[in-house]
Amino acid sequence: MPANFEALASVIEQSEKDLLSRWIAALTAAGATRSGQTSDKELKDACGRFLKELRNALKSGAGEDIASPPWQDVREVLEEISTARALRGYSPVETALFVFSLKEPLFDLLRKVLAREEHLADVLIASGGVLDRLGLFTTEVYQKSREEVIKRQQDELLELSTPVIQLWDKILALPLIGTLDSARTQIVMENLLQTIVDAEAEIAIIDITGVPAVDTLVAQHLIKTVAAARLMGADCIISGIRPQIAQTIVHLGLDLQVVSKATMADALSLALKKTGQRVERLAARG
Amino acid sequence: MDKIPILKVGKCLLVTIQIDMHDRLAMALQDDLTNAIVSTKSKGVLIDVSALEIVDSFIGRMLSNIASASRVLDAVTIVVGMRPHVAITLVELGVQLSGIRTARNVDKGLETINRLIEQSESTDADGDD
Amino acid sequence: MLTETIETVPIRSSEDIVRVRQKVRFHADAMGMSLIDQTKIITAASEIARNTFEYGGGGELLLEILRDGARRGLRLTFSDEGPGIADIEQAMRDHFTTGGGLGLGLGGAKRLVNEFDIKSQPGEGTRISLIRWK
């Protein structure tokens, strides 16, 4: 196989300029610049760098396994290009096209240069194989960078949706709204415990009026949070448990082992009492 | 071998654990504290864990043992200042520390201990009547 | 997945358990793990190191950094040449203990990490590996 790669490398080296311009033409025709989103110069740079690294890798005796160290520089170029495309909203097909569109001009060239050579077929198969793998690699990188974008957005959303409110001196409230999944509950709870420390709170009211359903995992997170808060010297009160959720909790056989109150107002009144505070109506004036 | 210092504050003993204890040191602390409750006639033990970065099941067991021993000796133990990540990890590990009283910080802990001591003294006095 | 070995830490005394905690903290912090993730893996390491010392008659910890695409993780492998564990399932259960502990070591440590693997045969020692991804 290295013999085929050497042949491929020398063919690329001989007509690198020609190959480059035909590849760029093919890419442009396929709409790779996305009407100006990627500049011609940028595309040309990317193609040039890729061809150069590909040639170097082939010459340095790189094998078929594109995950091996000799392919490192090629992978880096592709990673950079795919990541940039993923962030700009290119589709996976458009991203993979970068490598796949090199096939036609390269195969034409091989056929021309090696026309009389016995090993033409072997070189073609080997080249096709390696370009396929590199093309798939771009899709993989694309996928990963999209996942990172989604993950970042999720984190941002989580931060937005988990406010811990200082309700009174020593009393915090955490109004939970919307569906609680396990990951969100965990972050919300960590946030609550940290705020207990920062605000020197003694009581935290977790209000779940806005939560449509509670599954076992979420209920367990709630229980764990209450237990962790207790270890830290703070008490929790859960308020606003809907009838269906109460039924679920009973049905799941969970023992919440926590003080619960029907409404946030009831919970606040209990919290005030426990912290030795009182709110009074002023005597009617005038 | 180094030792964890035990301070007498009013009717209480105050221990601030500031180093990552190896197991023998933790056992020694447990013994020292139990002896000190008797020798100083203390009514309360305050253990400040705010400097601890982790509490594993061994330290957890030490805290439980101190609390149980002090209860037998008519003293109340309060663990104060546990940090959030330590508390979450302990809960996940499965250590409940049930039967141990807790407070946010040393001030709150002292306040609680003094209130509990007063309560128990007044019920004791009632019993004498 | 790429594996990079960092170092091995002997576990021969109860002071070594403290050193295990410190080494794990250092590397977990250097990887940029969150405080809560650090605490979980350090606590798990402490539990298993104590098992290695007390039941395995001492052994060592191998620290490795794993890379899987963009994901990075810390792998801790504890090995000893002690008597081994006959019934792993029973040993993993909470509150099961042959020593004087709370019996939360193995099962508890498993809950604190993302991946847990145990290999043991009576008379052939025990090998436990923990992975926490960042």
DSSP string over C6-59 = EEEEEE-SHHHHHHHHHHHHHHHHHTT--HHHHHHHHHHHHHHHHHHHHTSSSE
Q: Domain for residue B1, yes or no?
A: no
Number of domains chain C is built from: 1
- Which own/partner pairs from C60-63 qualify as long-range (CB within 8 Å, at least 24 positions apart)? C60/C8, C60/C9, C60/C10, C60/C11, C61/C8, C61/C9, C61/C11, C61/C20, C61/C23, C62/C5, C62/C8, C63/C5, C63/C6, C63/C7, C63/C8, C63/C9, C63/C23, C63/C24, C63/C27
Where does the pLDDT of residue A161 fall: very low under 50, low under 70, confident under 90, or very high at 90 and above? low
Nearest CA in chain A to B107: A200
Q: Residue A138, exposed/middle/buried by CB under 10 A (0-12, 13-18, 19+)?
A: buried
| Domain containing residue B54: CATH number | 3.30.750.24
Considering only CB atoms, which chain C residues are within 8 Å of B94? Answer: 94, 104, 107-108, 111
Residue A31's region, left for phi above 0, alpha for psi from -120 to 50, else beta, is left
Range of the domain at B103: 6-128
Size of chain C, expressed as the number of residues it contains = 134
- What per-residue confidence (pLDDT) applies to A165? 92
Q: Return the pLDDT at B1.
A: 54
A282/chain C closest Cα distance in angstroms: 46
pLDDT tens column, A219-265: 888 888 999 999 999 999 999 988 888 888 888 777 767 889 999 99
Look at strands A235-239 and A259-261 and give their pairing: parallel
Each of the 134 residues of chain C gets a pLDDT tens digit; together they read 788 888 999 999 999 999 999 999 999 999 999 999 999 999 999 999 999 999 899 999 999 999 887 789 999 999 999 898 888 888 888 766 655 554 557 889 999 999 999 999 888 899 999 999 98
CA C121 from centroid of its chain's CA atoms = 18
Q: By the CB < 8 Å criterion, does C40 face chain B? A: yes
- What's the token pair of residue B64? 């439980």
B30 close to B47: Cβ distance less than 8 angstroms: no
Q: d(Cα A203, Cα A270) in Å, to the nearest integer? A: 10
The residue count of chain A comes to 286
Distance CA C89, CA C93 (A): 7
Round to whole Å and give the CA distance between A73 and A103: 20
**Are residues A50 and A78 in contact, defined by beta-carbon separation less than 8 angstroms?**
yes
Instruction: Give the chain A residue nearest B93 (alpha carbons).
Output: A224
Q: Which ipTM did the prediction report?
A: 0.91
Instruction: Answer whether residue B59 is part of any domain.
Output: yes
pLDDT at A36: 65
Token pair of C61 as six digits: 């910890």
- Give the closest of B82, B104, B109 to A200, CB-based: B104
Q: C17 vs B85: CB contact, 8 Å cut-off? A: no
% chain A with pLDDT above 90:
37
Chain A partners of B91 at a C-beta cutoff of 8 Å? 224, 227-228, 231
B54's tokens: 């982790």
DSSP per-residue codes, B16-75: E--S---HHHHHHHHHHHHHHHHHTT-SEEEEE-TT-S---HHHHHHHHHHHHHHHHTT-
A2-158 CATH fold:
Globin-like (1.10.490)
| CA separation for the pair A79, A88 (Å, rounded) | 14
Please report, for the domain that includes residue C113, its CATH number: 3.30.565.10
Does pLDDT of B70 surpass 80?
yes
Give the pairing type, strands B44-48 and B76-80. Answer: parallel
**CB-closest option in A197, A202, A224 to B84:** A197
The reply to whether residue B84 touches residue A194, judged by beta carbons under 8 angstroms, is yes
Q: Is residue B106 part of a domain?
A: yes
Burial of residue A126, with CB atoms counted within 10 A of its CB: 0-12 exposed, 13-18 middle, 19 or more buried: buried
Cα–Cα distances in angstroms (integers) from residue B71 to residues B7, B43, B68, B84, B123, in the given order = 19, 10, 5, 27, 16
Rounded to 5 degrees, what are φ and ψ at B126?
Answer: -60, -40
Buried b (16+ CB within 10 A) or exposed e, A59-77: beebeeebeeebbebbbeb
Backbone angles phi, psi at B83, to 5 degrees: -85, 155
Q: Where are the beta strands (DSSP E) in chain A?
A: 165-168, 171-177, 203-210, 235-239, 259-261
Task: Say how far apart CA A247 and CA A136 lie, in whole Å.
Answer: 50
| pLDDT score, position C39 | 96
- How many whole angstroms from its chain centre is CA A245? 32
- Residue A135: what pLDDT? 92
Residues A92-107 pLDDT 10s: 888 888 899 999 999 9
- Has residue B42 been placed in a domain? yes
Q: With CB atoms and an 8 Å threshold, state whether A233 touches B109.
A: yes
A197–B87 C-beta distance less than 8 A: no
Amino acid in the structure at residue B86: V
CB contacts of A169 in chain B (<8 Å) are: none
Domains identified in chain B, total number: 1
> Which residues are bridge partners to B8 per DSSP?
B13
**Residue numbers in A near B104 (CB within 8 A):** 196-197, 200-202, 232-234
Q: Is residue B36 part of a domain?
A: yes
Q: What Å distances lie between residue C94 and A21, B34, B119, C114, C122, CA to CA? A: 67, 28, 38, 18, 21
According to the model, what pLDDT value does residue A105 have? 92
C38 versus A26: the higher-pLDDT residue is C38
For the segment B15-28, the average pLDDT, to the nearest whole number, is 93
- A230: helix, strand or coil: helix
What pLDDT is attached to residue C94?
73
Domain A165-274, classified CATH 3.30.70.20, yes or no: no
Q: Is A137 exposed, middle or buried (0-12, 13-18, 19+ CB in 10 A)?
A: buried
C-beta separation of A90 from A55 below 8 A: no
The answer on pLDDT for A202 being more than 80 is yes
The model's pLDDT over A47-77, given as tens digits with 9 standing for 90+, comes to 999 999 999 898 887 788 888 888 999 999 9
Sign of CA pseudo-dihedral C1, C2, C6, C9:
positive
User: Which region, left, alpha or beta, applies to residue A62 given φ > 0 means left and ψ of -120 to 50 means alpha?
Assistant: beta
- A144: chain C residues, CB-CB within 8 Å: 69-70
Task: Pick the residue of A164, A185, A221, A231 with the most B CBs within 10 A to test the interface with B by mutation.
Answer: A231
Give the separation between CA A105 and CA A22, rounded to whole angstroms.
Answer: 6
Pairing status of strand A203-210 against strand A171-177: parallel
**Backbone dihedral angles phi then psi of residue C68, each to the nearest 5 degrees:** -135, 95
Range in A11-15, A160-164, A206-210, B74-78 with the lowest mean pLDDT = A160-164
Q: Where are the beta strands (DSSP E) in A56-115?
A: none
